[in-house]
Structure 1
Amino acid sequence: MFILKLLIRNAFRHKLRTTLTIVGVAIAIVAFGLLRTLVDLWYAGVEASSASRLITRNAISLVFPLPISYKDRIRQVPGVKDVSWGNWFGGIYKDEKNFFPNFAVEPKSYLAMYPEYVIDPSQVKAFALDRKGCIVGRKTAERFGWKVGDQVTLRGTIFPGQWDFVIRGIYRGAQKNTDETQLFFHWDYLNETVKKTIARRADQVGFYMISLTKPEQAAEVSLAIDAIFKNSLAETLTETEKAFQMGFVSMTEAILVAIQIVSYVVIVIIMVVAANTMAMTARERIAEYATLKTLGFGAIHIAGVVFGESIVIAMIGGIAGVACTFPAAHWIETELSQFFPVFSIAPQTIVMDLAAALVVGVVAGIFPTWRGATIGIADGLRRIG
């Protein structure tokens, strides 16, 4: 405890310089933590995927639809427990900036496949009975001040027109990483309207969701489904939900690599700044170190003081940065929920933050420590300033 007190007192002999260094380290740690969280967020959908669900889409691209008649043939495949289907709707609420995911789905089977969407049974029943009904995530409902019974109008982009819905339920996530920003409505409502307006696009779905009786049968069930529709006008590609999500992540792999590089560059920059600070401190105290040696203190004692001071400054900055990361993440999750529906700091990110701060302290203290420990008594006492 005495040594720690000595190191802290020594570190703050130049209060302004030390404070600015600590602030710099804290800002770097906040940036590092947020960037690492952003990378983790990119994989959130992958981590939340269920091993007992498959997704079947058009083999060419997700843009191309599949006939609704496929559902009956998929149900007959051994190992398939249930089948649901849906379309990405892409509707806009009032203005493009009010983006949130919205899908047309088959209500009963879809909600049964996703127990992570927690919703009151009475609201589920009301949703099922109302053809124009919809359910919406808690965060989106709070964002726009919606409540059960409100009427909502979305402007279609993929499916043009003004689409009216009545909110029949609000769901919340069973886990922290569950997306609570989505809106779901009846696929039948979409299909019936499309039949009247764009008949050629009717009776088509964007994807099929398939639940399995046994997760270990995923590979053979996928192959069996794709074999059924091989050489048809709309061949299928069936994959696990995790593989499907990874497909989206792989499209933006270059962005992820860039973010990771930037996060490390931030640490390197603050490492250089901290090293410069410690080098200035050591240079100013050369005469003090020489005096300590004349009093009998060895090189190990001098090294301990210099190196310890570097670690103390870096770790104070690191702890301050970690403390500031949480409110920063909360602000991002609140104000930018349309882009980051979930933005929570993982425990491993905190560990990485503190490890990064420790690395900064260690690297920044190496040269000053060596300089202080190896300075000769005569050379040190000859120096002024």
Structure 2
Amino acid sequence: MLRHRLRTGLTLAGIAIAIVSFGLLRTVVDSWYAGAELGSSGRLITRSEASLSFPLPATYSERIRKVPGVRSVTFANWFGGIYIDEKNFFAQFAVDAQSYFDLYPEFRVAPAELADFKRDRRGAIVGRKLAKKYGWKVGDQVPLRGTIYPGNWSFTIRGIYQGADDKTDENQFLMHWHYVNETIKALLPSLADKVGVFIVDIRDPAQAAAVSAAIDSSFKNSLAETRTETQKAFQLGFIAMVDTILLAIQTVAYVVVLIIMAVMANTMAMAARERMREYATLKALGFSDGFVSLLIFGESLALSLAGGLLGILLTFPAAASFFRATRDLFVVFEVRPETVLLQLGSAVLIGLCAALAPALNSRRIRIVDGLRAVT
């Protein structure tokens, strides 16, 4: 391996880069699904059967509350405003201030700040990460230019919530639905008294399917039929919209491994050709074909595993840097143990496949031909 140190070093670096790339791409896919995995099993989401773009009457709230198994209900509506520029995108929801935080205990707000938010109809509560990104603090005015709800809006930050753990989304902007609703009645009455989704807290998560069916049957054959599902299923529905992209990312991850496998195979083939006389000498001294093949496999595996282990070690700081650079895209970005095992398995596979052809060729070479070989 040290005979051609530059070639060995470049090959090792290539394997390490490929393993890091494979790990990051796998982690991107895992992180998209991680948001759905964090959904509470005790919360249901009720939306329009036709599409999420069709709102539901706000009066549905009381009917849902009366369904057996339902503990409480709140609602939220996508606001979709623009802060200064279109590139400053973040989630904005108009919510029922009196009940929303009761159903989301993972959003932790200081009691005094929550009380101020409930009193101020133009107040807003924002996530800690979002506030840090834009330098907001309690008392600041945040202007938003409406898209769904036209006009120039201004909200006062009355509180900043923190997540119960590092997996809680802290990039949301929450304002009063009742304030938005009353304001829009004068501009676009057709959009008034409607909400995007109802969030339903149920007593027994094991009864989620039965409660969902009961809610939907309550609005069957109405002008606005509903579809109720668990929070996890609801979030997976969004992921399904980008399934093709995720599949492409997964494909690229494996293509990267195949490419470095071809590069490694070429490296081993070159090394084997240079050592034909040495292999022939070993055979002349009595060493078996199997022993020579094992030498080739050993060299290939040593090189690929060294590159693979280096790549695995570099994956963690690379993932941390990637997460800091794309903090708005992912709630959580962690390299899973399964990904590390796949990286290690890929390194082993690269080493075995790269050594296969040279090892077979070494078994076929005759001692006389090998000693005659010019290197």
Q: TM > 0.5 between the two?
A: yes
Instruction: Find the counterpart in structure 2 of residue 213 from structure 1.
Output: 203
Structure 2 residue 97 is the aligned partner of structure 1 residue 107: yes
Query: 1:356 Cα deviation (Å)?
Result: 1.3
SS, match of residue 43 in structure 1: helix
Query: 1:374 Cα deviation (Å)?
Result: 4.3
Structure 2 residue 255 is the aligned partner of structure 1 residue 239: no
Query: 1:15 Cα deviation (Å)?
Result: 1.0
SS, match of residue 94 in structure 2: strand
For 2:112 and 2:28, how far apart are their aligned partners in 1? 37
Paired AA for residue 327 in structure 2: S
Q: 1:295 to 1:40 in 2, by over 3 A?
A: same
Q: Is the 8 A contact 2:125 2:161 kept in 1?
A: yes
Instruction: Find the counterpart in structure 2 of residue 147 from structure 1.
Output: 137
Q: 1:11-40 CA distances to partner (integer Å, 9 max, x unpaired)?
A: 232111111111111121122111111211
Deviates further, 64-73 or 19-28: 19-28
Equivalent position to 2:357, from 339, 342, 367 = 367
Q: Is the 8 A contact 1:52 1:214 kept in 2?
A: yes
Describe how 1:95-244 pairs up with structure 2 within 5 A.
Answer: 95-244=85-234
Equivalent position to 1:249, from 232, 239, 243 = 239
Q: 1:69 to 1:14 in 2, by over 3 A?
A: same
Paired AA for residue 107 in structure 1: A
Paired AA for residue 275 in structure 2: R
Q: 1:138-179 CA distances to partner (integer Å, 9 max, x unpaired)?
A: 221221122222221122211122221222222233343322
Paired AA for residue 77 in structure 1: V
For 1:173 and 1:123, how far apart are their aligned partners in 2? 15
Query: 1:131 Cα deviation (Å)?
Result: 1.7
Instruction: Find the counterpart in structure 2 of residue 39 from structure 1.
Output: 29
Q: Is the 8 A contact 2:108 2:164 kept in 1?
A: yes
Query: 1:331 Cα deviation (Å)?
Result: 2.7
Q: 1:52-95 CA distances to partner (integer Å, 9 max, x unpaired)?
A: 11111111111111111111111010000100001011122111
For 2:359 and 2:91, how far apart are their aligned partners in 1? 55
TM-score by structure 2 length?
A: 0.95
Q: Is the 8 A contact 1:332 1:340 kept in 2?
A: no
Identity between Structure 1 and Structure 2 (%)? 55
SS, match of residue 137 in structure 2: coil
Q: Is the 8 A contact 2:113 2:158 kept in 1?
A: yes
Query: 1:123 Cα deviation (Å)?
Result: 2.6
Instruction: Find the counterpart in structure 1 of residue 288 from structure 2.
Output: 298
Query: 1:269 Cα deviation (Å)?
Result: 0.8
Q: Is the 8 A contact 2:83 2:143 kept in 1?
A: yes
TM-score by structure 1 length?
A: 0.92
Q: Is the 8 A contact 2:316 2:335 kept in 1?
A: yes
Query: 1:373 Cα deviation (Å)?
Result: 4.2
Deviates further, 138-147 or 259-268: 138-147
Instruction: Find the counterpart in structure 1 of residue 299 from structure 2.
Output: 309
For 1:66 and 1:160, how far apart are their aligned partners in 2? 20
For 1:223 and 1:90, how far apart are their aligned partners in 2? 30
SS, match of residue 191 in structure 1: helix
For 1:358 and 1:164, how far apart are their aligned partners in 2? 58
For 1:13 and 1:157, how far apart are their aligned partners in 2? 66
Aligned length: 375
Q: Is the 8 A contact 1:98 1:338 kept in 2?
A: no
Instruction: Find the counterpart in structure 1 of residue 17 from structure 2.
Output: 27
Query: 1:201 Cα deviation (Å)?
Result: 1.3
Structure 2 residue 319 is the aligned partner of structure 1 residue 332: no
SS, match of residue 311 in structure 1: helix
Query: 1:359 Cα deviation (Å)?
Result: 1.2
Q: 1:85 to 1:42 in 2, by over 3 A?
A: same
Instruction: Find the counterpart in structure 2 of residue 74 from structure 1.
Output: 64
Instruction: Find the counterpart in structure 2 of residue 6 from structure 1.
Output: none
Q: Is the 8 A contact 2:35 2:332 kept in 1?
A: no
Q: Is the 8 A contact 2:35 2:331 kept in 1?
A: no
- Aligned residues: CA RMSD: 1.7
For structure 1, list consecutive stretches of 5 or more residues without a partner in the other structure. 1-10
Instruction: Find the counterpart in structure 2 of residue 259 from structure 1.
Output: 249
Deviates further, 327-336 or 195-204: 327-336
Query: 1:313 Cα deviation (Å)?
Result: 1.3
Q: 1:240-265 CA distances to partner (integer Å, 9 max, x unpaired)?
A: 11221121122222222222111111
Deviates further, 144-153 or 339-348: 339-348
Q: Is the 8 A contact 1:42 1:249 kept in 2?
A: yes
For 1:48 and 1:369, how far apart are their aligned partners in 2? 49
Paired AA for residue 158 in structure 1: I
SS, match of residue 297 in structure 1: coil
Deviates further, 318-327 or 241-250: 318-327
Paired AA for residue 361 in structure 2: R
For 2:351 and 2:112, how far apart are their aligned partners in 1? 57
Q: Is the 8 A contact 1:75 1:81 kept in 2?
A: yes
Deviates further, 72-81 or 240-249: 240-249
Paired AA for residue 283 in structure 1: R
For 2:372 and 2:166, how far apart are their aligned partners in 1? 63
For 1:200 and 1:120, how far apart are their aligned partners in 2? 36
Instruction: Find the counterpart in structure 2 of residue 271 from structure 1.
Output: 261
For 2:299 and 2:25, how far apart are their aligned partners in 1? 28
SS, match of residue 135 in structure 1: strand
